[in-house]
């Protein structure tokens, strides 16, 4: 009788455990986030679907991209990017939202391309991302700014509603339909870092940089020429000096391209002066 009682108790306990696990799984599957619920750094407010598409459109997301969303919520930015063939990752502090996002990605058939990890967005590695799709507050964006400017030149950052403090957006657009609030997208293209001196065959170009805007001068054969219209878009740089338009690309410590003036066009090339890196 004692053996039988122990077996009966074991079966009963196993049944309780199985029932509890089943209830927990069912509860997880039925989890629904609430708009405005508290989070670690921001409350959860989802992007309208029209905004998701506008952000991805403005960032020109395609199958060659790696898209990251910091504070990814229910994963709609990540899932939207994965539907376009991109590899995408959401970083979310709330583990319930992480699991919820994974279920939604599975239902959308994009689990192979949409990854969700539980973690702190400020500690996340974004160095390999080519696109960030974000809906964060200005204080969050300010804190992340040092990481943004260290991304690969040409990387795109699409931000819903809020501008990155101190960094003028390259472009902004407003969603006119199917969006009642939070309907402006600001797009930023990460510029190459070019501040400092660059030697050419004829002298030295001195550049000062404020994100995508560049100023400075060209010491050309002993004559100092002020730069005009200086801009950098990702790795593409352009400026004018003494009526000559310089256009080219920056690749690490080298920039080269075409200089066009009244007498036609000619190639130009400059190398970074290492002791003047800023």
Q: Residue 275: how many CB atoms within 10 A of its CB? A: 7
The answer to whether 185 and 156 are in contact (CB under 8 A) is no
The answer to whether 105 and 73 are in contact (CB under 8 A) is no
Q: Which residue has the higher pLDDT, 175 or 44?
A: 175
Enumerate the H helices of the chain as residue ranges.
2-29, 49-58, 76-83, 95-108, 138-149
| 220-236 as b/e: b if 16+ CB within 10 A | beeeebebeebebebbb
Per-residue confidence (pLDDT) for residue 158, from 0 to 100: 98
Q: Is-same-fold flag (49-189; 196-276)?
A: no
**pTM for the predicted model, two decimal places:** 0.85
Does the pLDDT at position 11 exceed 60?
Answer: no
User: Which residues have a Cβ under 8 Å from the Cβ of 229 and sit 6 or more positions away?
Assistant: 238, 239, 240
How would residue 277 be classed by pLDDT, with cut points 50, 70 and 90? low
Q: Is the dihedral angle over the CA atoms 126, 140, 191, 67 positive or is it negative?
A: positive
Per-residue confidence (pLDDT) for residue 28, from 0 to 100: 54
Out of 30-39, 43-52, 171-180, 251-260, least confident range:
30-39
49-189: CATH topology? Rossmann fold (3.40.50)
Per-residue confidence (pLDDT) for residue 36, from 0 to 100: 62
Q: Is the dihedral angle over the CA atoms 166, 125, 137, 101 positive or is it negative?
A: positive
Per-residue confidence (pLDDT) for residue 5, from 0 to 100: 54
Per-residue confidence (pLDDT) for residue 221, from 0 to 100: 86
CA 77 to chain CA mean position, Å = 11
pLDDT in tens, 173-221: 999 887 878 899 999 999 999 999 999 999 999 999 999 999 999 999 8
Does the pLDDT at position 9 exceed 90?
Answer: no
156-160 and 131-134 strand pairing: parallel
The rounded mean pLDDT for the chain is 89
d(CA 106, CA 101): 9
Per-residue confidence (pLDDT) for residue 17, from 0 to 100: 46
Per-residue confidence (pLDDT) for residue 1, from 0 to 100: 39
pLDDT in tens, 129-149: 999 999 999 999 999 999 999
203 phi-psi bin (left φ>0, alpha ψ -120 to 50, beta other): left
pLDDT in tens, 220-272: 988 999 999 999 999 999 999 999 999 999 999 999 999 999 999 999 999 99
Does the pLDDT at position 83 exceed 90?
Answer: yes
- Give the residue from 142, 149, 160, 230 showing the smallest Cα distance to 190: 149
d(CA 152, CA 190): 7
The answer to whether 156 and 189 are in contact (CB under 8 A) is yes
How would residue 38 be classed by pLDDT, with cut points 50, 70 and 90? low
Instruction: Tell the CATH superfamily of the 196-276 domain.
Output: Avidin-like (2.40.128.30)
Q: Domains of the chain: which residue ranges?
A: 49-189, 196-276
Q: State percent of the chain over pLDDT 70.
A: 86
Q: Is the dihedral angle over the CA atoms 149, 155, 161, 167 positive or is it negative?
A: positive
- Give the residue from 243, 268, 240 showing the smallest Cα distance to 254: 268
Does the pLDDT at position 80 exceed 90?
Answer: yes
């Amino acid at each position: 009788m004692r053996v039988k009682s122990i077996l009966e108790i074991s079966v009963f306990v196993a049944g309780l455990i199985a029932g509890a696990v089943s209830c927990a799984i069912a509860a997880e599957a039925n989890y629904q986030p609430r708009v405005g619920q508290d989070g670690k750094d921001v409350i959860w407010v989802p992007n309208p679907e029209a905004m998701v598409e506008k952000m991805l459109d403005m960032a020109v997301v395609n199958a060659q991209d790696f898209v990251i969303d910091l504070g990814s919520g229910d994963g709609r930015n990540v899932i939207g990017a994965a539907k376009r063939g991109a590899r995408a990752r959401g970083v979310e502090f709330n583990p319930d939202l992480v699991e919820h996002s994974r279920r939604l990605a599975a239902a959308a058939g994009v689990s192979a391309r949409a990854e969700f990890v539980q973690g702190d967005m400020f500690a996340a590695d974004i160095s390999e991302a080519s696109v960030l799709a974000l809906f964060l507050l200005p204080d969050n964006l300010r804190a992340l700014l040092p990481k943004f400017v260290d991304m690969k030149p040409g990387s795109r950052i699409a931000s819903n509603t809020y501008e990155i403090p101190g960094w003028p957006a390259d472009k902004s657009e407003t969603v006119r339909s199917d969006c009642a609030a939070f309907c402006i997208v600001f797009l930023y293209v990460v510029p190459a870092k070019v501040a400092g001196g660059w030697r050419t065959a004829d002298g030295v170009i001195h550049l000062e940089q404020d994100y995508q805007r560049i100023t400075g001068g060209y010491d050309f054969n002993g004559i100092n020429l002020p730069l005009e219209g200086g801009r950098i878009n990702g790795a593409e740089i352009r400026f004018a000096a003494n009526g000559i338009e310089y256009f080219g690309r920056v690749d690490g410590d080298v920039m080269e391209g075409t200089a066009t003036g009244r007498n036609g066009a000619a190639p130009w090339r400059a190398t970074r002066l290492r002791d003047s890196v800023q």
